[in-house]
């Protein structure tokens, strides 16, 4: 079983998003799964030109020569693809959106109607499953609403949304202890996904648990 994470945070390995990703992957590795953690900001990925060559002229092939060809191979080799990003302006970061746009060669110019949701057919039949990991700087889960709608199109098997994200790297002992409990639940989620392809109710409760009340958090970040 192979998990590949495509992380769109500009802070790459130092990101709060990566704190969650690393906990998740360590659980998956404990279960014997393979994993790869890719920081998109470090890759050379041009913007989709919207020329549609990858559909009509050279099906499956993009005109741009950059890191995307290799990343598409990796994407196709995964059993589970994880889209990871902090919330930027109520959405995924530009780096992840750019990557997602460049997945166009994996589609066919054939419109399919799935319960009145119109999408394009896949050019290579999808064998992988999808999941999402995100954190945001504000309290309140409404910050993830856009990402939830966007990623619903790939029918994710697991979504981990962490509000009050600044706490993930806190040096305060009490906060650190609550964050460690949270990260243990995320680690367990990785283990359960790799072994059962689902997470238990107890693990779900652990990853949903609020880390701090809204007034306390607003005071903590001093805003």
Q: Applying CB under 6 A, which residues contact ligand FMN? A: 9, 11, 15-17, 86-90, 135-138, 143, 165-166
Rounded CA separation 65/148 (Å): 31
Residue 115 gets the label, from left (phi > 0), alpha (psi -120 to 50) or beta, of: left
Measured from the CB atom, is 11 or 106 closer to ligand FMN?
11
Query: Least Å distance between CB 161 and ligand FMN?
Result: 10
Nearer to ligand FMN, 64 or 167 (CB): 167
Q: Which residues of 50-59 are buried (b: 16+ CB within 10 A; e: fewer)?
A: eeebbbeeee
Q: How far is the CB of 6 from ligand FMN (least distance, A)?
A: 13
Q: Is 161 exposed, middle or buried (0-12, 13-18, 19+ CB in 10 A)?
A: buried
Among residues 90, 92, 64, the alpha carbon closest in space to that of 6 is found at 92
CA distances from 49 to 31, 53, 59, 97, 177 (A): 41, 9, 15, 14, 47
> Cβ closer to ligand FMN: 70 or 219?
219
Query: From the CB of 42, what's the least distance to ligand FMN, in Å?
Result: 14
Determine the Cα angle at 152 with ends 151 and 153, to 5°. 85
* Shortest Cβ 118–ligand FMN spacing (Å): 28
Q: Smallest gap, in angstroms, from Cβ of residue 138 to ligand FMN?
A: 3
Nearer to ligand FMN, 89 or 115 (CB): 89
Between 9 and 98, CB nearer to ligand FMN: 9
């Amino acid at each position: 079983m192979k998990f590949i994470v495509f992380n769109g945070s500009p802070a790459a390995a130092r990101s709060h998003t990566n704190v969650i990703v690393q906990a998740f992957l360590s659980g998956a590795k404990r279960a014997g799964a393979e994993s790869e953690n890719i920081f998109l900001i470090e890759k050379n990925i041009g913007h989709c030109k919207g020329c549609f060559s990858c559909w009509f002229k050279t099906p499956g092939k993009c005109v741009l020569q950059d890191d995307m060809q290799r990343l598409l191979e990796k994407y196709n080799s995964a059993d589970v693809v994880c889209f990871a990003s902090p919330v930027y302006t109520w959405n995924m970061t530009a780096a992840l959106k750019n990557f997602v746009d460049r997945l166009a060669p994996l589609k066919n110019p054939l419109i399919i109607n799935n319960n009145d949701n119109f999408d394009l057919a896949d050019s290579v039949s999808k064998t992988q499953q999808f999941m999402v990991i995100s954190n945001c700087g504000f309290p309140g889960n409404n910050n993830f609403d856009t990402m939830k709608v966007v990623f619903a199109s790939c029918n994710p098997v697991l979504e981990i949304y962490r509000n009050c994200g600044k706490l993930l790297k806190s040096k305060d002992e009490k906060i650190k202890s609550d964050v460690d409990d949270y990260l243990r639940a995320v680690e367990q989620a990785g283990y359960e996904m790799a072994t059962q392809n689902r997470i238990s109710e107890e693990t779900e409760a652990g990853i949903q648990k609020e880390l701090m009340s809204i007034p306390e958090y607003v005071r903590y970040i001093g805003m």
